[in-house]
Structure 1
Amino acid sequence: MEPGNETQISEFLLLGLSKKIELQPLIFGLFLSMYLITVIGNLLIILAVSSDPHLHTPMYFFLSNLSFVDICFTSTTIPKMLKNIQTENKVITYGGCITQIHFFLLFATMEIFLLTVMAYDRFVAICHPLHYTIIMNPWVCGLLALMSWMMSVLNSLLQSLMVLWLSFCTDLEIPHFFCEITQVVQLACSDTFLNDIVLYFASVLLGSVSLTGILYSYSRIVSSIRRISSAQGKYKAFSSCASHLSVVSLFYCTALGVYLSSAGTHSSQSSATASVMYTVVTPMLNPFIYSLRNKDIRRALRRIIGMALYTGQLFLG
């Protein structure tokens, strides 16, 4: 694309998931419901972990961090989308778009790191149970969380700053419901080779390192479980990591599905629709997976709900 039509831009247009006006109320209601379920469900997980002393362990420490990241992840994109539908205005400012790119990449990268760290935690718990409290002490857990945040911030800051260096043309329509970085870079009139290289390198590096770490951890976990003689011991070991394995499978399968669908159809609209799975659906389902498959979380949630109902009765009385 020739840079002849470059201009100083102040805003982009988010085309959303559909251009059909009659579908907008349905999309608004659906996404508002999913957003509220995501926020409430993950807040309950955080509240359950923080209020129950039995859940003050490394596994639940990382789970509460994951719930916080899921809330922020969806809050980066969905409120703006709902506002645009409600006001029938597709505009997002240039600064707002860059900010959205930054925080979307930040929390997406943090989700990847947390899933990897949680796999390592399950590996230590099952393969080295006698040394678990020594290896996964509070200092190590805090350091792992801090390093994850630092790497996520550096990645998102680098890529969002590189977008700032680009010059854009008069075609400012983004065929997505949020400022997805690849879609924004494609609108640039200036050379995007360096942006493409950095984005590709970061995606491959983060994805391959994370997936390799998770696969290695679970290969060792499976090997250790197979050596357990009793069926009850095998079930107990497997149940301790079943929830995390379900979340990992959901996240990576949906993200891979988005990549394959967009690569196969070459349609920006199809890519936007498919990306709903890992940006909205996965964070919404995570609390259900952990609450349904984890008796400790269920017990803590029942206690919180019971206390809330009792407090409500006292207030009404």
Structure 2
Amino acid sequence: MSKLRRIISRLQPMGRATPAVALSHDADRHAAAPAERRATLAGYAWMSLAVLIWASWLVLTSSGRTTALSVVDLAALRAVIPAVLLAPLLWRSRDQIVQLGVKRGLILSAYGAPFTLLVGHGLGYAPVTHAGAMVPGLMPVFAAVLAYVFLGQRLRKRKALALMLVLAGATTILTGAGRPLPAQGMGTGHLLFLLGALCWACFTVTLRAYEIPAVLATAIVGAVSAVWLLPLWIALDLSNIGAAHWVDIAFQAAFQGIISGLISMYAFSRALRLIGGRASVLSALTPGVATLLAIPVLGQVPQPSDLLALVLVVAGLVIWNLGPKTT
């Protein structure tokens, strides 16, 4: 009997599974399907959390300006707290940081205190809708230019179309098309948003070019920002923390330092691991979510021209993120 079984097994076509093996494979696939669905849902949940935090950062940074806290206070909280919490990582990665060099470390840190100071001051002149459309919207434009100039990366047609839509939206805001009368100093706010987008782009291009881990990059950004900002913060007496209510201090410390500085990064990293490129597509919702949050929190109702600009920017960001991976 055993000899007969060996003969039958030899007669099986090579590479074709027996019915029992095929059934086993089908069972494995069916068992894996619920796990894949759970992983996908978890990925979308993590990315939704990241988008909510990014949008909330614009709204709550603007809201923080209505308290006794200064923009420098907000920037210091966003820099110092992650630097302290991630200090052990900085020490363990000291050799990697030395290899990275001072120049690249400074470029990375543009997304720290400089970014917060520029956008934070800009929110004192222009509404969150404009910041949402211009800062996350124009960041890919600046990143594409920097990648072309310094890394020789060329744009594909699809991403060129995306950038045209983003630029059209930004131009609508900058020209004030359809807006009754521009508020005094709004141009100053727009200029600060442009510079903030450039700071973010410098961080993004450097991060990609040298494949720096996101957590380590966050630690470097916080540490470098704290090194130069803290002496100015103290020596020039730029802090209003002494006059602020402890509730405002605790809230902004938790949000700026932990939620925005650390949790959003972890959420985005988890989303990328679970759903890949689809996470980047969801990031295009940040300007719209920020605009919606600003209505009840700050009472900022967007003008029709601002909504048009927002639609153009979001459409451009979606096309950008749906396009090929290469810049």
**TM-score normalised per structure 2:** 0.28
Larger Rg: 2
Q: Which has the higher contact order (CA 8 A, sep 6+)?
A: 2
